[in-house]
Amino acid sequence: MTSVFDLAACQQILGLSVSALKTKLDIAHGETHEDVAYEGLEGVTQYYNPKSFPGRVYVRDGAVQMVYVPSGAALAGVSVRDLTRKLTGKPKEMRSRAGKEFTHHVYADQGVAFSAEGDELCFVEVFRGRPLKAYLAEIYQDPGPFIR
Amino acid sequence: MARTGFRTRVSKASPERRERKIARLHDVVHSQSERLEEQSELAALRETSSERPLSPGAVLALQSTVGNQAVSRRLAQDGAIQRKEVTVGTETVEVHSILGVLTKKGKAEQLEAEAIIKALNDTYGVDPSSSKLVEAIKAQYTNVPAKVTKALKARKWRMIELRALADALKHYAPILGKARATSSRGGEAQEVVAVGKGAQAIDTNKPTGELDTTTLGEYFKGKKVMGLFKASEGHHDEFPDEKTELVATFVHEIAHGVLAYAYDEFVASGSGGFWTDQNTKSGAKGAEAPPTKYGKTNAREDMCDTASLFFITPDKLSGFPKRLAFMQKVGKDWIPPLKEAPVNLGGGDAETPVTPDSVPVPVIA
């Protein structure tokens, strides 16, 4: 599997069973962290093997809840424009935990959110599409104003 | 007798000379105030309860009857004791004055401001320049409307801020200015080269961005400039008083520059497993939580707040062993082992060598 961010590959992971995910990630050679959280998602298990896939995958109740792709090599060659070309409509813009100069763009119904500064991606979240209200209640955590 | 004669001379003097005398009088009042008895103070308060402004002659008459502190109080009541803006280098600094005339205290403050500003340049390689701050904000917030960036303004420094800045920079002395060359950071350019005071920062780098009223301080990576903003005036939350809070704000902003190299190390080993990466919490139960509420924003804010606590109130890190150990290691790493340290062959000007054990020294500012 490529180590560069690929939205379709992330969306495909959302549909995998836990055993298929473990196989795909070759998780025997990766990391498993049980009973952790990803922002508002609590009680999830995190699977991570950067040699197989650049993102961290969070699972709960036998289903993938979140694919989180952090800043770094995987996103280095991908711009906001590249990503939004695959999305439709206008995002909801929220405060980003990455910092004051970043914006968190949410396409909740399409299951994609990302933080960026201008055209530069900071991190990407891929999840099962849901109403914005549900994304804000279940996943997003407002970092509050950056004061220093 | 002397007081009566003094009063007569003042009443005949030019307004300018009168103001100077009042300023001198205030200095005397200041030094003598401790000698006043409680009864005299109470009498003075009763005597000065009027809202009418006092003439300089009346001020002196009052001084001769009920005491020096009464005069001081009444001058303050009339708004005669003011802060005057003076120019030091490129910066505007507010110092003590009465009726627009610098007092002894004001002159001393001006000299102190000059000394601090010189030391910032000479010792730490940090140029006090509020115009550079404004330019740094403009360079970083490129997506906001021009009318917003045009409204950015420099702001006068207060003495409490300059003193806090000097105190904060001391904590990073081994890796700033000329000292940096002999530190482990010597191979990298200094990450903070200017500091300014601004009226307001900008809330977000978007077309909807506007001037904000909440930013206390901010580091602008592109221009290596840090700023302090009006919102910090009178503010304190993590620390017990404004001065300590200001030192902490500066220590925090400096850390965003000079300690940025250690962010990933902080995530990996200094944060007690609280962070997965610089932007994301691990969500692991039992991880060492950040010592401040603001530190939960992201790992960078956590590390910079940790640096503030480490240098200013290290006892507050006693319950955070991973963070404490990380900061101690960072400080020691600044000084290369003796066998690797550059040898000074310059002769008699060599300064006393700094040993790893001497840095960092968590000192109450």
Report ipTM (2 d.p.).
Answer: 0.95
Phi, psi torsion values for B143, nearest 5 degrees: -100, 0
Residue A66 pLDDT grade (very low, low, confident, very high; cuts 50, 70, 90): very high
Structure tokens at B322: 């991973």
Task: Report the pLDDT averaged over residues B24-29.
Answer: 58
Is the Cβ of B137 closer than 8 Å to some Cβ of chain A?
no
Q: State the nearest Cα–Cα gap between B198 and chain A, in angstroms.
A: 13
Q: Sign of torsion, CA B220 B223 B227 B229?
A: negative
**pTM of the predicted model as reported, rounded to 2 decimal places:** 0.82
Which region, left, alpha or beta, applies to residue B335 given φ > 0 means left and ψ of -120 to 50 means alpha? beta
Q: What does the pLDDT read at residue B13?
A: 57
Q: What does the pLDDT read at residue A39?
A: 98
Structure tokens at B209: 């961005």
Q: Quick check: helix, strand or coil at residue B335?
A: coil
Specify the residue for token string 């280098």.
Answer: B89
Q: Which residues, in sequence order, are bridge partners of residue A92?
A: A106
Task: Report the pLDDT averaged over residues B225-248.
Answer: 96
Residue in B with minimal Cα distance to A72: B277
Q: What does the pLDDT read at residue B365?
A: 36
Judge whether residue B43 has pLDDT over 80. no
Q: What does the pLDDT read at residue A14?
A: 97
Residue A47 pLDDT grade (very low, low, confident, very high; cuts 50, 70, 90): very high
Q: Are B360 and B259 in contact (CB under 8 A)?
A: no
Q: Are B66 and B40 in contact (CB under 8 A)?
A: yes
Least CB–CB distance from A123: residue in B249, B279, B294 = B279
Q: What does the pLDDT read at residue B336?
A: 76
The reply to whether residue B142 touches residue A118, judged by beta carbons under 8 angstroms, is: yes
Point out the least confidently predicted range of B9-23, B176-190, B229-243, B248-262: B9-23
The reply to whether residue B204 touches residue A70, judged by beta carbons under 8 angstroms, is: no
Q: What does the pLDDT read at residue B362?
A: 44
The reply to whether residue A44 touches residue B143, judged by beta carbons under 8 angstroms, is: no
The reply to whether residue A42 touches residue B283, judged by beta carbons under 8 angstroms, is: yes
d(CA B269, CA B275): 10
Kindly list the residues from chain B whose CB atom is less than 8 angstroms away from the CB atom of residue A35: 285
Kindly list the residues from chain B whose CB atom is less than 8 angstroms away from the CB atom of residue A42: 283
Strands B194-198 and B225-229: parallel
The reply to whether residue B298 touches residue A56, judged by beta carbons under 8 angstroms, is: no
Kindly list the residues from chain A whose CB atom is less than 8 angstroms away from the CB atom of residue B297: 97, 143-144, 146
The reply to whether residue A70 touches residue B298, judged by beta carbons under 8 angstroms, is: no
Q: B 286-315 residues with CB below 8 A of A?
A: 294, 297-298, 300-301, 304
Interacting residues of B320 by C-beta distance below 8 A, sequence separation 6+: B272, B288, B291, B306
Phi, psi torsion values for B174, nearest 5 degrees: -65, -20
The reply to whether residue B218 touches residue A148, judged by beta carbons under 8 angstroms, is: yes
